């Protein structure tokens, strides 16, 4: 019974829209290219303010990025939430399967309607440790 109430309250979590996927890929490409101007063009003003107030953030993200762009392998996470400050948001995490350093790239979009206004982004580098079978 509890799950049914929860599912009704949240509603079904939709797939990301084509517009969102395109915007996310453009943003990922801008990060790989270390193109700060393009990053700023693709995100909303709130993100500009955050980046301006924390000038070390973009260089740190740029350092984590690989040296070339590939297509994401899959979407590994989607969530519809309501933030008390900004309202409805939709988060999508894309998995990029780079051989030595897989990347999880999360983009936070405004609203639950499939729009592509970017309110946030997160980059996580998965560290692959080789298995030593001789131990």
pLDDT band, very low/low/confident/very high, at 12 (cuts 50, 70, 90):
confident
**Contact criterion met (CB below 8 Å) for 20 and 109:** yes
Residue 9 confidence class, pLDDT cut points 50, 70, 90: very low
Is the distance from CB of 89 to CB of 109 less than 8 angstroms? yes
- Give the single-character DSSP code of 33: T
**pLDDT tens across 20-34, in order?**
999 999 999 999 999
Q: What percent of the chain has pLDDT over 90?
A: 78
Residue 4 clears pLDDT 60, i.e. is over it: no
> Which one is the CATH code of 15-125: 3.40.1350, 3.20.20, 3.10.450, 3.30.460?
3.10.450
Query: Which pLDDT score, from 0 to 100, does residue 29 have?
Result: 98
pLDDT tens-digit series, residues 41-70? 999 999 999 999 999 999 999 999 999 999
Integer Cα distance of 91 and 79 in angstroms? 5
**Longest distance between any two alpha carbons in the chain, whole Å:** 53
Sheet containing 118-125, strands listed edge to edge, beginning at the edge strand earlier in sequence = 74-83, 87-96, 103-110, 118-125
Say if pTM beats, i.e. exceeds, 0.85: no
Domain residue extents for the chain: 15-125
Q: Mean pLDDT of all residues in the chain?
A: 88
């Amino acid at each position: 019974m509890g799950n049914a109430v929860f599912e009704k309250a949240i509603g079904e979590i939709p797939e990301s829209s084509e517009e969102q996927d395109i915007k996310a890929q453009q943003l990922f490409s801008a990060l790989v290219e270390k193109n700060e101007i393009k990053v700023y063009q693709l995100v909303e003003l709130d993100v500009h303010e955050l980046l301006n107030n924390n000038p070390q953030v973009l260089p740190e993200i740029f350092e984590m990025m690989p040296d070339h762009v590939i297509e994401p392998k899959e979407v590994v996470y989607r969530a519809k939430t309501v933030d008390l400050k900004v309202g409805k948001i939709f988060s999508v995490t894309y998995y990029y399967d780079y051989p030595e350093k897989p990347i999880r790239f999360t983009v936070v979009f405004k609203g639950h309607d499939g729009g592509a206004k970017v309110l946030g982004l997160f980059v996580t580098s998965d560290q692959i440790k080789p298995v030593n079978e001789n131990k």
